[in-house]
């Protein structure tokens, strides 16, 4: 299966967001990665649901919503209305099983995310309920951080477990993805690459094409 590309809209030019979304469609991005931060679970704040609704209305690209918020179960119903994939953190203080089930009941696909401090094995039991798992290769909350090589061992462990058990679960990675780190991630077993500043700009087309070729 060809690797999927999920540009992180956090790196887009928000004064020209509609044009940026059009460029992503023209350059065949597979998903749009949409980060939601509350200033509590992570030390930063970002988009809320009103912006998600506007993005959803302006593009046909599936939207991958990444909730970096405390007790995410409180907001599942609201965000699931406009998310194709709705993900939350294992470490965020919600009952994981119940939250995954609630996301599916609301009509979105599920994604469970782990921070760099969390071992892959800690989420093995939840894989049957996950359409996708997201491995953070930087500390969540800020863009522009350097890729953490240790994340690749988590990807390999998840890849083996998913393949051995026959699950239909995608593996996504987010943080420090560029021309040097993307091949390492795909070789380890990643299905979906999230990238921000590396993709937005004058070289979007050639960089998306390069990542898709891995």
Write the CATH number for 117: 3.20.20.70
Give the residue-averaged pLDDT of 112-123. Answer: 97
Catalytic site residue 35?
Answer: yes
- Residue 39: name the closest of 69, 62, 18, 67 by CA: 69
Q: Give pLDDT, residue 185.
A: 98
| Band of residue 49 on the pLDDT scale cut at 50, 70, 90 | confident
Structural domain that includes position 51: 4-212
Does residue 48 register a pLDDT over 90?
Answer: no
* Digit-coded pLDDT (tens) for 170-196: 999 999 999 999 999 999 999 999 999
SS3 at position 120: helix
Whole-number Å distance between alpha carbons of 49 and 86:
12
Q: Give pLDDT, residue 46.
A: 82
Round the average pLDDT of the chain to a whole number and report it: 95
Give the residue-averaged pLDDT of 58-85. Answer: 97
Instruction: Select which of 30, 35, 38, 82 is catalytic.
Output: 35
In Å, how far are 76, 112, 128, 133, 173 from 169, measured between CA atoms?
20, 10, 8, 7, 13
Q: Give pLDDT, residue 144.
A: 66
Whole-number Å distance between alpha carbons of 79 and 175:
23
Weakest mean pLDDT among 34-43, 118-127, 161-170: 34-43
Instruction: Select which of 82, 131, 174, 191 is catalytic.
Output: 174
Does residue 47 register a pLDDT over 80?
Answer: no
In Å, how far are 28, 94, 162 from 128, measured between CA atoms?
29, 18, 9
Q: Map tokens 């020209």 to a residue.
A: 16
Give the residue-averaged pLDDT of 12-35. Answer: 96
Give the residue-averaged pLDDT of 117-140. Answer: 97
Query: Residues near 86 by Cβ (< 8 Å), separated by ≥ 6?
Result: 65, 67, 76, 79, 80, 103, 106, 108, 109, 110, 111
Number of domains in the chain: 1
> How many CB atoms neighbour CB 151 within 10 A?
25
């Amino acid at each position: 299966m060809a690797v999927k590309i999920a540009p992180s809209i956090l790196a887009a030019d928000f004064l020209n967001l509609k044009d940026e979304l059009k460029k992503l469609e023209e350059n065949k991005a597979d998903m749009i990665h949409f980060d939601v931060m509350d200033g509590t679970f992570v030390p930063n704040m970002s988009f809320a649901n009103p912006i998600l609704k506007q993005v959803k209305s302006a593009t046909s690209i599936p939207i991958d919503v990444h909730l970096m918020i405390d007790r995410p179960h409180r907001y599942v119903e609201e965000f699931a209305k406009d998310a194709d994939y709705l993900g939350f953190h294992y470490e965020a203080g919600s009952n994981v099983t119940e939250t995954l089930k609630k996301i599916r009941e609301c009509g979105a696909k599920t994604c469970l995310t782990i921070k760099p401090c969390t071992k892959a094995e800690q989420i093995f039991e939840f894989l049957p309920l996950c359409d996708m798992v997201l491995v953070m290769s930087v500390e969540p909350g800020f863009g522009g951080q350097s890729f953490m090589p240790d994340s690749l061992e988590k990807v390999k462990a998840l890849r083996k477990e998913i393949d051995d058990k026959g699950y239909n679960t995608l593996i996504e990675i987010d943080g420090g993805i560029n021309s040097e780190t993307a091949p390492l991630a795909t070789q380890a077993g990643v299905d979906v690459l999230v990238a921000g500043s590396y993709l937005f700009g004058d070289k979007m087309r050639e960089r998306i094409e390069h990542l898709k070729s891995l």
